[in-house]
Amino acid sequence: MDWSQPAHPTVVQGTVVQGKVSNDYNQMGGSHYNQQKFNVQTGDGSYPKGEQQPNTFRDVFWAFLFIVHLFIILCLTAVFGPAAVDAANSGGYKQSNDYGGSVGGYQTGFGAVITNCMLCAMSAFVISAFSLFYTINCARSVVTSGLLFQCFMSFCFMLAMIASGSFMAILGVLMFGWSVCYTWAIWHRIPFAAANLMTATTAVKANSGLFGIAYLFLIIGLLWTICWEITATGSYMVTSNCDNDGNCSAMNGFLLFVLLLSFYWTHSVIQKNTVHVTVAGTVGGWWFNPHQASSGCSRAVRGSLQRATTYSFGSICFGSLIVAVVRALRAMADMARDNEEGGTAILLCLIDCILGCIEGIVEYFNKWAYVYVGLYGYSFIESGKNVLGLFKSRGWNTIVTDNLVESALFFVNVGIGLLTGCIGFILESSFGDMYGVFGDSDKIMGFVIGFVIGFVLSSIVMSTIESATNTVIVCFAEAPAEFEANHPQLSDQMRASWLTGYPDEYS
């Protein structure tokens, strides 16, 4: 069908939709599209569809503030970095000659740790590729396994608490009972979650360059972490009063907050939300104009990345800053609680609980707001209002609170982590004392290192899938007609499973 021409009326979910969809991309050649605005009567009334916004910079102040903050941190690195380097050279980073030999063809010591990390990372890449293929073809099994995995974990927690004889055993029993009831209550929603997951993985697979972007930002995040650690260590040593034995006083509270805020803000911007917005824009392009979003480095991928790092970068910085402030305050509350006892510790625990609730609310808002930022280029606040208004008009409040897909992807991450952990354990067991730096715990550390590497690398892939599933939900609520026209088979599966899982919300 030629999408530049008026389409015939399309009946989707009992609603007649009349309109025209254009495949004209913006001047950037991205995944954003121009389309005629129309209303759909559903839920408690009508709602307008989102429209592509002009190519103008949004939330500019927050992007400027983020860049200024990066410049300040780099200046602190230049000022305090030498102190951290001197401490590392003169401190405890000494390596015994006992770690210089070789066993089984491997160099022992930290060189062997690096070798094992590389082998585990390569294994994780391969396993993640197979897991992606399995997720596409067996989405329902993945979702079901993730749900049952929650029950299994709560069951193990219950047994552990009962075995310990602690009063926490009552909490363990309640958690297991709640998990079983929750599983029974939402079991009928598994088909829709599976259809959503299958659609998302299909879209991401068609634009596989998204994985490369995710790993690229991971590397940038790791480099930033090194820079931040040098700054934090040097700042602590320079600003704290230390005696001849190396005992130092606590860091200045304001400086500690600024450093923590910088850490969380930068990582939220670089490793999470920029990728999230890029994925949302790409999946939107695949939804509306699949011929422009069907290759590893498609026009949709390039355009979405360009918009996320330019016009929408301020919106990404704004939302990330809100979460970073809450996380920094929680981190400081945790540090203070560790040094306090009695009533003060209880008060700090309550403060931490309140901040945790606020963090969850803000992250929930951000998750959906960034989908609209990626799809249409709205400002951050406007995006959040529009997407939540869309769900409210649709009557979809129950749907967006379901976490079946998230549980399934977490289950995949844990599975890949366990497999790579086993590989690390086998390597250590097969070649003897490969590490030599952990003493009698070498085999355990081989498993732990492998697990962490596998879990982190798998999380990069699965976070991309999770962003895609969120975008699919928004697009399915807003543009089912385009989905039916461009991807009829996937649309049929989602609509059929929708009837089964959410009959009350069907319109």
117-126 pLDDT per residue, tens: 778 888 888 8
pTM: 0.77
214-251 pLDDT per residue, tens: 888 888 888 888 888 888 877 777 776 665 555 666 66
Between the CA of residue 214 and those of 121, 128, 460, 465, 486, what are the distances in Å?
A: 15, 14, 6, 11, 27
CA 187 distance to own-chain centroid: 25
* Distance separating alpha carbons of residues 405 and 393, to the nearest angstrom: 23
Percentage with pLDDT > 90 across the chain: 18
**Structure tokens, 43:** 């839920």
Between the CA of residue 25 and those of 1, 19, 304, 441, what are the distances in Å?
A: 17, 18, 11, 57
For residue 204, give every residue at least 6 positions away whose Cβ sits within 8 Å of its Cβ, in sequence order, or none: 210, 211, 279, 282, 283, 464, 465, 468
426-437 pLDDT per residue, tens: 887 776 555 555
HSE (CB half, 13 Å, CA atoms) of 190?
18
* Distance separating alpha carbons of residues 324 and 47, to the nearest angstrom: 33
Nearest to 362 by CA among 313, 335, 325, 408: 325
Please report how the helices 190-206 and 110-137 are oriented relative to each other, as an axis angle in degrees rounded to 10: 120
At residue 2, does pLDDT exceed 50?
Answer: no
* Distance separating alpha carbons of residues 60 and 155, to the nearest angstrom: 49
Residue 34 pLDDT: 39
Between the CA of residue 362 and those of 33, 278, 324, what are the distances in Å?
A: 29, 20, 10
Percentage with pLDDT > 70 across the chain: 76
Between the CA of residue 482 and those of 40, 45, 302, 496, what are the distances in Å?
A: 14, 21, 22, 17
Residues 381, 118 contacting (CB under 8 angstroms): no
Least confident piece of the model among 243-252, 264-273, 327-336, 337-346: 243-252
**Structure tokens, 452:** 């962490």
**Structure tokens, 487:** 């991807």
Residue 286 pLDDT: 94
161-182 pLDDT per residue, tens: 888 777 778 888 888 898 899 8
179-216 pLDDT per residue, tens: 899 888 888 888 888 888 889 989 998 898 898 898 88
290-307 pLDDT per residue, tens: 888 887 788 899 999 999
At residue 359, does pLDDT exceed 90?
Answer: no
* Distance separating alpha carbons of residues 177 and 175, to the nearest angstrom: 5
431-489 pLDDT per residue, tens: 655 555 555 566 787 788 888 888 888 888 888 888 999 999 889 888 888 999 999 99
Angle, CA 78 vertex, CA 73 and CA 82 arms, to 5°: 125
Map 278-315 to HEC letters.
HHHHHHHHHHHCHHHCCCCCCHHHHHHHHHHCCCCHHH
